[in-house]
Structure 1
Amino acid sequence: MSVATARTRGRQRALWVVLFLLAAQLVALARPAYACGCGAMVHDPKTALAVDRETSVVHWDGRTEQIVMSLTVNGTAPDAAWIMPVPHRAEVELGDPVLFQQLAARTSPAVEQRHYFWPRARDWPFGGDMDGAAAPAPGAKGPGVGVVGRERLGPFDVARLTASDPDALGDWLTSQGFRLPASLATELRPYVRQGWEYVAVRLAPAERSRTLSGTLEPLRLSFASERLVYPMRLSRLATTPQSLGLYVLASHRMEPRSAIGGSPPEVFFAGRIRPTKAIRGLTGRGDAYLTALDQHFPRPQRISGDHELRRAAADTPFQRVQYEDVLLKVGSLPAWVLAVGAVSSLPPTVVLIVLLCRRRSAPPPPGPLPHPPV
């Protein structure tokens, strides 16, 4: 191959790489909606927006359901609209961010100690002090839409809507400067047939010059419901694997009726708790049963509907256990130090007798196999 031919092919490969990267960027910018656990995010198609984490708390007393959501977002979008379908008319208010901290603390693993005898790398004499202090780690540091309510809640402009068809919701989004993707309109049709309503929230940073980024203030939705339902259908729009983390507060342990197309839901905490502070602000006085669930959706397009949760067969408690390995001590001294000291203080004759006894008790080494008779 000549030098000129090699250079020509090299330029062609470089051109194809540039075109591929440009096409990928255009596809990413053209994606106007980001599906999250129980809603959809709509933003300017010329900008990007991602929901890094979504944490939800659900409380249900048999008649009324409450959902408190906290979203952590980042991207280049200066604003966005979040659409949430609800089975009945919803009341919307700001949630308490302390609620998530208290629930995380309540569901943290129980710590149990496991003792070991011989010292390890972080123990004396290999590291740390004999009193157990470890050596410091290096570097440690519109038209057609019935608007039944509109309010300003912190950084959110919240509208509660009724719509006879998804196109009417699209008109409202257009009046707010957003475009309803065709795929989102399609996924909203089952909610329209069931007579659901929408909560539409315009998200914007406090300063107009900034973009949406970080953890947004939580929103709390309350609506009448004879069954405990968590909307998930809109997550079918996601093109990447999705995860759901859900705290459920009810009278008994709850479980999803089905996996709705995801992996089997995993319970990481179940137990009756006495609500305090922010949790009591959601559940009221008296005990409540807390069920914490994790679920993954490797292929979101397989999501078949909304999560409906029901009472489990039994209120069996469960808590994760995190084991902490601790050097065995007697008082303040490691047990191995005392054992070695005790052995070294024995008379040499005693040590010799112990060694001889161990040698005699050991089985004889296998000898050569006898020759077969000639």
Structure 2
Amino acid sequence: MAVAAGGTTGTGGGARRRRALCLVLVLLAVQLGWLARPAYACGCGAMVHGPDTTMAVHRETSAVRWDGTTERIAMRLAVDGTAPDAAWIMPVPHRATVRLGDPELLDELDEITAPVTRHRHYFWPRAGDWPFEPDFDGATAPPPAEASVGVVDRERLGPFDVARLTADDPDALRGWLTAHGYRLPPALATALRPYVDRHWEYVAVRLAPADHGTPLTGTLDPLLLSFATERPVYPMRLSRLATTPQALSLYFLAPHRMEPRSAIGGAPPHVVYAGRIQPQDAVRDFAGPAPAFLTALDQNFPRPQHINGDHEFRRATADTPYQRVRYTDTLLEVGGIPLWIPTVGAALLLLMATAALTAGRLRRRPTVPYFRTPAPPA
């Protein structure tokens, strides 16, 4: 009896342990599911997508215009994933207006800030020049092609639903997300708390291609936001949610050269262009007709979890211009012949002529007879 009782107890204990193990595995799967479907941060705002879908933001490029009282942000994202739609959430210090931006704007700014090319010549041959050319006759490998991404047509970016929500009402954002089939992740709710404390507002936009069920992927046309502010700011705090390194390219148009007050936990911002420009075409539509000082910055965030605030900008100490220079070096030639070849040949001929003249003079020099002086008598 004792043995039977003990055997029954052991069987029940094993079943309970198996049930407990199954429960732990289920809970672990749920937690992993949340980790696999986070709200992907993109420097200026955050993306939220539905369950069982993925989305990643590869790069963010933005233009900022500040005239002392009003700030405009044009932001373009390169995204990839399986989500058919997504909600984009952006905190702003005051009530904002949102519309589609001009897709040519950032391309024009990229052309303005591109490095200038200058040509230089060198005299002596280098690796790859004769006689240092490789012996085999083979074509050099072409440079790697830049990764191409699909572009979402500007017409297919809409229609989109825009909502302006007050930050002091956390249920407003949660309700808007629920109405559109999304859930507010706990991590995003925590990241938004500093904006709630500062009484900021949210701009919530639903992005969806016109073709139902088509993944929202490729390079999206920029969204344009405008809001009043006396201190230029670029919200970055939500990038703390990112799990991979982030990269930011920012064009800042203002009356003077601008600079971030700090690196906010990322690598030091790198200035790639600074100069006063006369806006034309899409840049004129964005910044106005008056001359403006354009400052272009690149910044990397290798550890996004270290981001500790938003980018606040201030006027630099001087409007010092700067532009990158790309040099192309070419072997100096005359008539298609490297100049060093005739130069070296002429130098060798000169040396040979000098040696011949010296030898000829030595041969023509008269020989002085040698007389031996007799020794004196002893």
State the TM-score bracket (shorter-chain normalisation).
0.7 to 0.9
- CA drift at 1:220: 0.6
Q: Is it true that 1:262 corresponds to 2:280 in the alignment?
A: no
- Where does residue 310 of structure 1 map in the other structure? 314
- CA drift at 1:63: 0.8
User: Which consecutive residues of structure 2, in runs of 5 or more, have no partner in the other structure?
Assistant: 1-24, 146-155, 359-378
Identify the match of residue 72 of structure 2 among 66, 69, 78.
66
1:299 and 1:207 map into 2 onto residues whose CA distance is 36
- In structure 2, give the amino acid aligned to 1:47: T
1:337 and 1:264 map into 2 onto residues whose CA distance is 48
Helix, strand or coil: the match of 2:244? coil
1:207-261 Cα shifts (integer Å, max 9, x gaps): 1132111001111111111110000111111122222211100000001111111
| Equivalent residues of 1:236, 1:302 under 8 A apart | yes
Q: Is it true that 1:77 corresponds to 2:83 in the alignment?
A: yes
1:57 and 1:27 map into 2 onto residues whose CA distance is 35
Identify the match of residue 217 of structure 2 among 190, 213, 216.
213
Tell which deviates more after alignment, 154-163 or 261-270: 154-163
Identify the match of residue 243 of structure 1 among 234, 247, 261.
247
Q: Is it true that 1:93 corresponds to 2:79 in the alignment?
A: no
- CA drift at 1:137: 4.4
- CA drift at 1:175: 0.5
Describe how 1:64-213 pairs up with structure 2 within 5 A.
64-123=70-129, 137=140, 154-213=158-217
| Greater per-residue strand proportion | 1
- Where does residue 342 of structure 1 map in the other structure? 346
Task: Compare CA radii of gyration and give the structure with the larger one.
Answer: 2
Tell which deviates more after alignment, 67-76 or 167-176: 167-176
1:37-78 Cα shifts (integer Å, max 9, x gaps): 010100113111000111000000001100000011001111
| Equivalent residues of 1:29, 1:48 under 8 A apart | no
Q: Is it true that 1:54 corresponds to 2:60 in the alignment?
A: yes
How much identity, in percent, do the aligned residues show? 66
| Equivalent residues of 2:49, 2:85 under 8 A apart | yes
Q: In the superposition, relative to structure 1, how do residues 353 and 62 fare at CA in structure 2: closer, same or farther (>3 Å)?
A: farther
Describe how 1:279-358 pairs up with structure 2 within 5 A.
279-330=283-334, 332-343=336-347, 345-346=349-350, 348-350=352-354
RMSD, aligned α-carbons: 2.8
Q: In the superposition, relative to structure 1, how do residues 137 and 276 fare at CA in structure 2: closer, same or farther (>3 Å)?
A: farther
- CA drift at 1:92: 1.1
TM-score, length basis structure 2: 0.77
Helix, strand or coil: the match of 2:40? strand
| Equivalent residues of 2:86, 2:206 under 8 A apart | yes
1:69 and 1:24 map into 2 onto residues whose CA distance is 34
TM-score, length basis structure 1: 0.77
1:82 and 1:229 map into 2 onto residues whose CA distance is 18
- CA drift at 1:195: 1.9
Q: In the superposition, relative to structure 1, how do residues 277 and 25 fare at CA in structure 2: closer, same or farther (>3 Å)?
A: farther
Q: In the superposition, relative to structure 1, how do residues 46 and 153 fare at CA in structure 2: closer, same or farther (>3 Å)?
A: closer
1:209 and 1:350 map into 2 onto residues whose CA distance is 86
Q: In the superposition, relative to structure 1, how do residues 32 and 353 fare at CA in structure 2: closer, same or farther (>3 Å)?
A: farther
| Equivalent residues of 2:59, 2:248 under 8 A apart | no
2:167 and 2:234 map into 1 onto residues whose CA distance is 20
Q: In the superposition, relative to structure 1, how do residues 301 and 342 fare at CA in structure 2: closer, same or farther (>3 Å)?
A: same
1:94 and 1:353 map into 2 onto residues whose CA distance is 84
Q: In the superposition, relative to structure 1, how do residues 324 and 139 fare at CA in structure 2: closer, same or farther (>3 Å)?
A: closer
| Equivalent residues of 1:255, 1:312 under 8 A apart | yes
Q: Is it true that 1:278 corresponds to 2:282 in the alignment?
A: yes
Helix, strand or coil: the match of 1:316? coil
| Equivalent residues of 1:30, 1:45 under 8 A apart | no
Tell which deviates more after alignment, 339-348 or 227-236: 339-348
1:123 and 1:241 map into 2 onto residues whose CA distance is 41
- CA drift at 1:79: 1.0
1:176-221 Cα shifts (integer Å, max 9, x gaps): 0000001111111221222211111111123113211100111111
Instruction: Tell me how many residue pairs correspond in the alignment.
Output: 318
- CA drift at 1:280: 0.7
